[in-house]
A = this chain, B = another copy of it.
Amino acid sequence: MSSSIAPYPAGIEALSDRASASPESGIVEVLNYGMGRQGIIPLWAGEGDIPTPAFICDAATAALAEGQTFYTYQRGIPPLRNALAEYTGWLYGTPNSFERFFVTGSGMQAIQTAILLTADPGDEIVYHAPAWPNLPAAAEIAGVTPVSVAMQFSETGWHLDLERVFAAVSARTKAICVNSPSNPTGWVMPKEDIGALLDFCRGRGIWIIADEVYCRFVYGDVRKGAHGRPLAPSFHDVITPEDRVLFVNTFSKNWAMTGWRIGWIEAPESIGIKLENLIQYSTSGVAAFMQQAALAAMQEGDEFAESVISDACRGRAIVSEGLRKSGRCRFAEPDGAFYAFFGIDGEPDTDKLGLRLVDEAGIGIAPGRAFGPEGAGYMRMCFVRRPAGLSDAMSRLNLWLAKR
């Protein structure tokens, strides 16, 4: 020690307000508690039980062997940006410029970047809740106030009242965030509401941050996309290329790449240079060999993506049947995404239920409070998994419920 001066100690109180106020994710709390437990069935996170398929991994391996290990384009490698434009055109039937696409180091980073692009410290963003907690948490860390609009639950499912969204907008509101299909509620924004929200935002110059990560996970009687398969209504259906709309997306869900941390933003071309700068000053781009894997997912991954969507369809049926069988769950089959978000009669306090179910039932489920106070009393269970594990999980849950 060179110093005779006693240090101020470190510790949480020594941190910035935004860091010390940052909440622990209630999902991560359960995950950290249960990860690695013998025999646990983990349904806490939004990921399946199938590793990334070999054709995607092989593309990364080949790129590594070729020496694609140097700095690369901050916006993403041109072939991947082209593929993203083609993929989006394939889904929505509208031609799209590769200049609108920017590769990010996860869908999460896409959200963080979208917030920074649109809002300054002291500004507000409006979002609907229950919501994936990372959205409001990222806003707070950016110095931006997240303003939540509560959704309503009924027997027919979750509902968002657009008038409440409009009422939550203030002079400081810079963006409205829509996550449809929604994690955790499974809600899908109706086509008419998408048009109405766009009109509202157009009239005021407010940005829309559209998280349509689960766009291909929709169930029941839904419209078919340009690619001929089920597809949720989208802001792609109503915007012009220079509308103030930012799409945040990820490779995680469709192609079983949750652990990779690679996503993208679709944005008006005219803001490209500033989007590039924000990437530069956060992670400085995504590894080229990872992008080659993402390119393989885009180009050769349709069959695999369809198999994941099929797993979700089957999983939805298994979980819905199991919850109905319990006779004690408040629940509506979700229209989209791949989560059951349900309440349990006689268990009003679900905050620590996730931890208890790890210990007492051998299943990992996230507490609804992890998705904001609007989620209190509910639990979220991921169902994008192979049938056997899900059936087993439902048996365990119902056995546990029967004992209580």
Minimum CB–CB distance from A244 to chain B (whole Å) comes to 5
Query: Is A340 interfacial (CB-CB < 8 Å)?
Result: no
User: Does A22 contact B199, Cβ atoms closer than 8 Å?
Assistant: no
How many copies of this chain?
2
Query: Is A12 interfacial (CB-CB < 8 Å)?
Result: yes
Query: Is A31 interfacial (CB-CB < 8 Å)?
Result: yes
CA distance A337 to B132 in the complex (A): 43
CA distance A19 to B278 in the complex (A): 7
Query: Is A28 interfacial (CB-CB < 8 Å)?
Result: yes
User: Does B274 contact A260, Cβ atoms closer than 8 Å?
Assistant: no
Could you say which interface size class chain A belongs to? 35 or more
User: Does B284 contact A69, Cβ atoms closer than 8 Å?
Assistant: no
**Which B residues lie within 8 Å of A24 (CB)?**
273, 276-277
Minimum CB–CB distance from A271 to chain B (whole Å) comes to 6
Pick the contact of A64: B45, B60, B122, B244 (CB < 8 A): B60
User: Does A283 contact B283, Cβ atoms closer than 8 Å?
Assistant: yes
Specify the chain B residue showing the minimal Cβ separation from A51: B67
Query: Is A270 interfacial (CB-CB < 8 Å)?
Result: yes
User: Does A198 contact B268, Cβ atoms closer than 8 Å?
Assistant: no
CA distance A150 to B112 in the complex (A): 32
- Interface residues in A146-202 by Cβ distance below 8 A to B read 174, 194-195, 198-199, 202
CA distance A207 to B118 in the complex (A): 30
Minimum CB–CB distance from A103 to chain B (whole Å) comes to 12
Pick the contact of A69: B51, B72, B109, B138 (CB < 8 A): B51
Minimum CB–CB distance from A341 to chain B (whole Å) comes to 20
**Which B residues lie within 8 Å of A11 (CB)?**
242, 268, 270-271
Name 26 A/B residue pairs within 8 A (Cβ), A-sorted. A3-B198, A3-B202, A6-B202, A8-B204, A9-B244, A14-B244, A15-B274, A16-B118, A16-B119, A18-B116, A22-B278, A45-B71, A47-B71, A52-B67, A52-B69, A61-B61, A68-B259, A71-B258, A109-B282, A121-B122, A134-B281, A137-B280, A138-B282, A141-B282, A143-B143, A282-B282
Q: A19-B275, A142-B143 are in contact. List 12 more A-B contacts (CB 8 A).
A: A2-B198, A3-B195, A3-B198, A10-B244, A11-B270, A28-B74, A47-B70, A51-B67, A108-B280, A261-B283, A261-B285, A282-B282
A residues in contact (CB < 8 Å) with B: 1-3, 5-12, 14-20, 22-25, 28, 31-32, 35, 45, 47, 51-52, 57, 60-61, 64-65, 67-74, 105-106, 108-109, 112, 116-123, 134, 137-138, 141-143, 174, 194-195, 198-199, 202-205, 207, 237-238, 240, 242-244, 256-261, 267-268, 270-271, 273-278, 280-290
